[in-house]
Amino acid sequence: MISIAALRLKWAAHGSWEALSMDMDTRQWPADDGSRVPYWIYTDEDVYRSELDRIWYGRNWLYAGLEAEVPEVGSYRTTTLGERSVIVVRSAENEISVLENRCRHRGVEICQARGGKVDDITCPYHRWSYALNGTLQGVPFKRGVKGQGGMPKDFDQKEHGLHRLKVEVVNGVIWASFSEDPPPFREYLGETMWKPYERIFSGRKLRVVGYNRQVVQANWKLVIENIRDSYHGALLHVFLPTFGLIRPDQANAILMDESGAHSCMVSSHAEGVDVDKQEYNFDDTMQLADRRVIEAIKELEGKETASMVCAFPSVILLQQINALQIRHCVPKGPNEFELMWTHFGFEDDDEEMRARRVRQANLFGPSGYVSVDDSEIFANAQRGFAMAAEGEEAVLKMGSGGREQLNENYYVASEGAVRGLYQYYREVMEL
């Protein structure tokens, strides 16, 4: 059971304090086969604070960017991990540093720009200056002025560098962790997830095609749930079956690592289907004005048409037809998150392929024909949670005939992978 915050109270008309909501100590996860998820995990401020500490600032690896975004020494980008702003910078030819964007003098957020190129990192307030690897290298008036003031003799600059996160760059993707001792990234992701990860990120040099950002009025966990919820795919996203992106001749599966934290939704064609150049034309009565938006050119290994890796908790790495993209989730309290979308391709793409990837961002972007449905439904869900009575809960029984939690594969009519996620979540959160 999680440790708890104070009871929420209000001063009532009759002159005494009255409980506004139940204390988390009194809250119980429904005791059944794991197919119930209480709505308070999406709305409670104390649960959210605990998620930040245990999940976002714990032993997890968080997506920090692409190596291609910081190509030269001094190139940097700012991003947000959990609620903390960080600077991702190439600090030496073969070194990338991820530094907390917070001055060690008086806590000022140093850098507001999205990115650029610098020689050092200097705080605007009193101009403390840090090297690209975060070491404090300059303190104005350190020796005082005309013998007056200045830092005490025992002030040690070495102890006042910017907080550095642990970093691993894995096939062009930058991962960072607030933990001092995270497991090696590959071990963290697990061998089941490694294959689909390596299929997209093989080491082939990447190139960013563009960015989108969107704020959604919903809890961050809805993103993680959704990407392993194969049940909704053809039902919510009517574009997919209408234009043949979900087809009856394809197999869908959701892979999970042993813990249940990470997942990968895979769609592939059945044996005998020519995927070298696949034209989709499921419903001839509906026509797209420009069919190139769903034109698929086979380029990656295997017969998968779509592969969506969720590296818990921060990111989804997605390939669908020729759209390659990263959805980086940034929580902003229990009722809001931001999604930072990075559309990318490969450095050696020809102009036609680059244009195709941009075009297909119209399917899988914030206002894409497909993805717009998800953010709408997340906000609708959050509104539903807000109006629910204490004790109401989600029902995740689809595919639970055998009461299984974690299996290798789940098919369309199953919520097993979502149950698996919450089994893991309860362990980490001690709920």
Q: Which does 106 bind (CB under 5 to 8 A by kind): ligand FES, Fe ion, none?
A: ligand FES
Give the CB-nearest residue to Fe ion: 374
Residue 148 CB, nearest approach to ligand FES (Å): 19
- Computed on alpha carbons and rounded to an integer, the radius of gyration of the chain in Å comes to 24
Residue 104 CB, nearest approach to ligand FES (Å): 8
Residue 118 CB, nearest approach to ligand FES (Å): 16
Interface residues with ligand FES (CB under 6 A) are 103, 105-106, 108, 123, 125-126, 128
Which H or E run includes 253?
A: strand 250-256
Q: Which does 141 bind (CB under 5 to 8 A by kind): Fe ion, ligand FES, none?
A: none
Q: Which does 323 bind (CB under 5 to 8 A by kind): ligand FES, Fe ion, none?
A: none
Ranges within 335-374 binding Fe ion (CB under 5 A): 374
Nearest to 69 by CA among 158, 148, 183, 169: 169
Asked if 415 touches Fe ion (CB under 5 A), the answer is no
Measured CA distances, 49 to 84, 86, 314, 337 (Å): 13, 19, 16, 14
**Among residues 78 and 267, whose Cβ is nearest to Fe ion?**
267
Strands (DSSP E) contained in 171-238 are 173-177, 206-216
Can you read off the two tokens belonging to residue 174?
């930058």
Calpha distance 252→267 (Å, rounded): 4
Residue 105 CB, nearest approach to ligand FES (Å): 3
Q: Which does 304 bind (CB under 5 to 8 A by kind): ligand FES, Fe ion, none?
A: none
Number of residues that bind Fe ion (CB under 5 A): 1
Q: Which does 374 bind (CB under 5 to 8 A by kind): Fe ion, ligand FES, none?
A: Fe ion
Calpha distance 199→104 (Å, rounded): 41
Can you read off the two tokens belonging to residue 347?
């450095």
Helices (H), 151-220: 185-189, 191-200
**Among residues 44 and 229, whose Cβ is nearest to Fe ion?**
229
Can you read off the two tokens belonging to residue 328?
């980086």
SS3 state of residue 82:
coil
Interaction site with Fe ion (CB under 5 A): 374
